[in-house]
Amino acid sequence: MIKRRMFLGLLVAMGATTLMAADPAFDKLDAGKKELMQWFLDNEYGHAPVGRPADMTFQGNSIVFAGKVKVDLTVKLPAGASKEKPCPVILMGDFRAWNNGMHDDKYSHEQDKLQKDIDAYVTSRGYAIVHYNLNEVAPDQPRRRMIASLKQQGKPLPPYPYGVFEVYGGESDRTATSWGTIRAWAWGHSRVLDWIETQPMLDAKRVAVCGHSRLGKTAICAGVTDPRFKITYSNASGCGGAKLNKFKADRSEHIHQITRGFPYWFCQNYLKWRGHDLEITHDQDEWMGLVSPRCLYVASGSKDDWAGPAAEKAAADKVAAAWEKQGLKGKVGYHCHEGGHAFDLRDFKLFLDFCDTRL
């Protein structure tokens, strides 16, 4: 009895935020990293309520959560892939993830073609590519807006319209540190990696997670929170991704703007940092630095002012400098393509050159 009371007392003394440390992201981290991870999950992305769920099943190339939410994967293998020589994998959310939960009907022909070109290019370089529509994990919309727009279009409500939030919580029971959509998507990437581990043609120890823009923010969150990803690549991820907050880039997105447009991507605590970009306790270089000792790759577009290319490069440079001091050399890559907010074959070429000697 005394022991139980002491235990409860200790829990109270530790405070509620420490209790949230159940997020699977904390597994296998050293103390310094735990503190930093805690800060970022408490203040920015929120905590995943569950790791690998016991009720997750695999059905061919699909993942099903609690028999309710189904996520379909597209898998392309390079020529000559075999069980004897499993191939390295590039994992990404595909371009359908820009369709706000409305799925294939808005998957435009150009995006469809670009994804096919990327698949062909990546496999021609000897890598497998796995991609999927992240809206199937969690729609890229606030729940109420999503339901209203489905009704307006006369579409039937799916039984679990809000994806994994409906199954594992974090929507109606939301707290200030509950997972936002970026954390939920990153968690989805980890579940796909669970699936990759069951595939004999794929080498689960050689998986690079990548993504563009909101999915670049997601790729970083996945790489940081799951040490099984060997390389993390963020393309034009900007605010809440690779962009330093404490870097004056006037035309780039700031916290007050991203939390007005997309508050649901983050945990509610992030709203407290509106207007305080320059004073924020920890900046995005520290967040990306949590992928060490694994590799980090960052890319920008020279005219992508909203993402803040100079501030993204400054963050990558800071990570590289900090890691060099720890004896980690050649683990950070960076390029800046000519032009705006794009993610195309030019980026994959340079990224795969980086992967060739590291994945």
Footprint of ligand GCU (CB under 6 A): 213-214, 238-239, 253, 258, 261, 306
User: Least Å distance between CB 45 and ligand GCU?
Assistant: 14
Residue 87: Cβ within 10 Å count: 19
d(CA 359, CA 350): 14
Q: Nearer Cβ to ligand GCU, position 94 or 253?
A: 253
User: Least Å distance between CB 245 and ligand GCU?
Assistant: 13
Q: Nearer Cβ to ligand GCU, position 49 or 238?
A: 238
User: Least Å distance between CB 163 and ligand GCU?
Assistant: 18
User: Least Å distance between CB 278 and ligand GCU?
Assistant: 18
User: Least Å distance between CB 213 and ligand GCU?
Assistant: 3
Q: Nearer Cβ to ligand GCU, position 88 or 238?
A: 238
Q: Nearer Cβ to ligand GCU, position 63 or 255?
A: 255
User: Least Å distance between CB 127 and ligand GCU?
Assistant: 24
Q: Nearer Cβ to ligand GCU, position 128 or 299?
A: 299
Contacts 24+ apart (CB under 8 A), 192-195: 192/63, 192/71, 192/73, 192/91, 192/130, 192/132, 193/91, 193/226, 193/228, 193/229, 194/52, 194/56, 195/58, 195/63, 195/73
Residue 165 identity (one-letter amino acid): F
d(CA 223, CA 231): 7
User: For residue 257, which phi and psi values (nearest 5 degrees)?
Assistant: -80, -45
Q: Nearer Cβ to ligand GCU, position 136 or 253?
A: 253
